[in-house]
């Protein structure tokens, strides 16, 4: 470690997911770590190196972590995360193991940036902050336990758990949220807690404008595309049921609802399976318009990060989700797509919307712009 690095204050990034794991959360935290290393001596406490051993690694993923960054890893919990019980136990075990490392390493004069996954870690970290006195910044990707209701999970003692988490969030020095709707929800969440009113800062996800660039649109009939997790909360079955006759629907990805959707046997729905991060440019360009969904009841509880790379690809967005949620506002205010099915499909209009989307990605949501917001905020 050189003398210049030793003079910097320490920023700890606390997260379950971190490179070389290839989830979007891992990638985002890795890039934030690299950016923050210009300002701080960055150290990371995270989960095991391979989050999902069943997942095929992308050989074309050349993510490089700055050599000055130290990484401390907790041991994983080898449990079946496809069951509710297994997932809950895994979250609890991983939270305790990460928190144990935090206790060993983090001091009063340090700063911490943590992400809200696994959820129990938010409570453990807030209590440790009260005891040790370090500065706590929470990057809010999910709002727990409110996000369990739209997912159909019946949480025992919901009111008590919500109170515990409201108090935990309120102990933070700063909450970094992904959109205006999340800010609205978090303001109300911490308002009733007399502990503290943290600063709430909006920092959106970024668009990969260098790795993803517009390609010519398909020549055939209108192609609608969905790329991502095929789960219950995405509501793709409703989209298929309502699919206009003039539109083909192409689905990239995998998930719990994949086989159910295939059994619908819709003649204009095509499944392409999972894809790698290095294939995003090719995948996102294979359509006229891309689908983004947010389940009813999810207002302010999450922002679909895939939206910003869709903008980078020069494609408009077809959004189904709560009114006045961040993506709903973005699509309507910037005229970069439709919120609900359009009355008619016009390829020239779709192209103009796509051009506006790409321009927006460059001007407001580039990686440099968003990472500079983090550097300024912390």
CB 308 within 8 A of CB 327: no
Per the structure block, which two tokens stand in for 25? 């959360």
- Tell me the backbone φ, ψ of residue 60, rounded to 5 degrees: -95, 5
Q: What is the CA radius of gyration of the chain?
A: 21
Asked, for residue 212, whether it belongs to a domain, the answer is no
Percentage of the chain beyond pLDDT 70 is 92
Whether 157 and 273 share a structural domain: no
Least confident interval from 133-147, 176-190, 219-233: 219-233
Whether 61 and 184 share a structural domain: yes
Q: Does the pLDDT at position 357 exceed 60?
A: yes
Query: What pLDDT band is residue 21 in, cutting at 50, 70 and 90?
Result: confident
Asked, for residue 17, whether it belongs to a domain, the answer is yes
Whether 197 and 295 share a structural domain: no
Domain boundaries, position 80: 3-206+367-377
Asked, for residue 114, whether it belongs to a domain, the answer is yes
Q: Residue 123's domain is classified under what CATH number?
A: 3.40.50.2000
Whether 56 and 184 share a structural domain: yes
Q: Do the strands 337-339 and 289-293 form a parallel or antiparallel pair, or are they unpaired?
A: unpaired
Asked, for residue 216, whether it belongs to a domain, the answer is no
Q: Does the pLDDT at position 367 exceed 70?
A: yes
The burial of 109, by beta-carbon neighbours within 10 Å (0-12 exposed, 13-18 middle, 19 or more buried), is given as exposed
Asked, for residue 215, whether it belongs to a domain, the answer is no
Interatomic CA distance for residues 227 and 150, integer angstroms: 21
How many domains does the chain contain in total?
Answer: 2
Whether 121 and 68 share a structural domain: yes
Edge to edge, the sheet with strand 41-46 lists 70-73, 41-46, 10-14, 111-115, 135-139, 174-177, 199-202
Place of tokens 């205010």: 333
Whether 125 and 236 share a structural domain: no
Instruction: Tell me what pLDDT residue 375 has.
Output: 98
Which pTM value belongs to this model? 0.90
Which tens digit of pLDDT belongs to each residue from 306-329? 999 999 999 999 999 999 999 999
Asked, for residue 173, whether it belongs to a domain, the answer is yes
User: Helix, strand, or coil here: 165?
Assistant: helix
Asked, for residue 254, whether it belongs to a domain, the answer is yes
Which tens digit of pLDDT belongs to each residue from 108-124? 999 999 999 899 999 99
Interatomic CA distance for residues 148 and 91, integer angstroms: 14
- Tell me the backbone φ, ψ of residue 339, rounded to 5 degrees: -105, 95
Edge to edge, the sheet with strand 269-271 lists 269-271, 247-252, 222-227, 289-293, 317-320, 337-339
Whether 176 and 294 share a structural domain: no
Q: Does the pLDDT at position 276 exceed 90?
A: no
Per the structure block, which two tokens stand in for 352? 């103009």
Span 222-231, average pLDDT: 95
Least confident interval from 2-11, 248-257, 304-313, 326-335: 2-11
Whether 142 and 285 share a structural domain: no
Which tens digit of pLDDT belongs to each residue from 130-175? 999 999 999 999 999 999 998 888 888 999 999 999 999 999 999 9
- Computed over every residue of the chain, the mean pLDDT equals 91
Whether 259 and 147 share a structural domain: no
Whether 311 and 251 share a structural domain: yes
Asked, for residue 213, whether it belongs to a domain, the answer is no
Whether 69 and 177 share a structural domain: yes
Instruction: Tell me what pLDDT residue 54 has.
Output: 41
- Tell me the backbone φ, ψ of residue 301, rounded to 5 degrees: -105, -5
Whether 305 and 240 share a structural domain: yes
CA distance from start to end of the chain: 23
């Amino acid at each position: 470690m050189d003398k210049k690095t030793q003079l910097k204050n320490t920023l700890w990034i606390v997260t379950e997911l971190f490179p070389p794991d290839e989830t979007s959360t891992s990638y985002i935290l890795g890039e934030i770590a690299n950016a923050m290393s210009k300002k701080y001596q960055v150290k990371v406490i995270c989960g095991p190196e391979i989050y999902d051993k069943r997942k095929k690694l992308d050989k074309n993923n050349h993510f490089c972590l700055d050599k000055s960054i130290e990484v401390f890893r907790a041991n994983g919990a080898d449990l079946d995360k496809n069951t509710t019980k297994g997932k809950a136990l895994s979250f609890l075990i991983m939270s305790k193991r990460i928190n144990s490392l935090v206790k060993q390493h983090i001091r009063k004069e340090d700063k911490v940036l943590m992400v809200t996954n696994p959820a129990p870690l938010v409570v453990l970290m807030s209590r440790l902050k009260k005891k040790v006195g370090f500065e706590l910044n929470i990057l809010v990707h999910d709002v727990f336990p409110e996000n369990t209701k739209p997912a159909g999970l019946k949480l025992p003692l919901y009111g008590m758990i919500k109170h515990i988490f409201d108090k935990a969030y309120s102990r933070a020095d700063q909450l970094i949220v992904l959109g205006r709707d999340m800010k609205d929800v978090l303001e109300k969440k911490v308002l009733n807690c007399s502990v503290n009113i943290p600063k709430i800062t909006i920092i959106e996800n970024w668009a990969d404008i260098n790795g993803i660039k517009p390609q010519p649109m398909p020549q055939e009939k209108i192609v609608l595309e969905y790329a991502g997790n095929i789960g219950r909360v995405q509501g793709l079955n409703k989209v298929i049921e309502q699919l206009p006759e003039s539109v083909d629907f192409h689905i990239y990805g995998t998930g719990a609802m994949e086989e159910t959707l295939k059994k619908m046997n819709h003649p204009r729905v095509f499944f392409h399976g999972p894809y790698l991060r290095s294939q995003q440019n090719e995948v996102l360009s294979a359509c006229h318009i891309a689908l983004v969904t947010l389940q009813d009841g999810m207002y302010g509880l999450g922002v679909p990060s895939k939206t910003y790379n869709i903008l980078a690809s020069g494609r408009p967005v077809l959004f189904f989700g709560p009114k006045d949620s961040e993506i709903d506002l973005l699509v309507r205010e910037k005229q970069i797509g439709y919120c609900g099915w359009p009355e008619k499909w016009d390829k020239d209009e779709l192209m103009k919307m796509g051009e506006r989307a790409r321009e927006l990605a460059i001007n407001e949501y580039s990686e440099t712009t968003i990472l500079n917001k983090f550097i300024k905020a912390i």
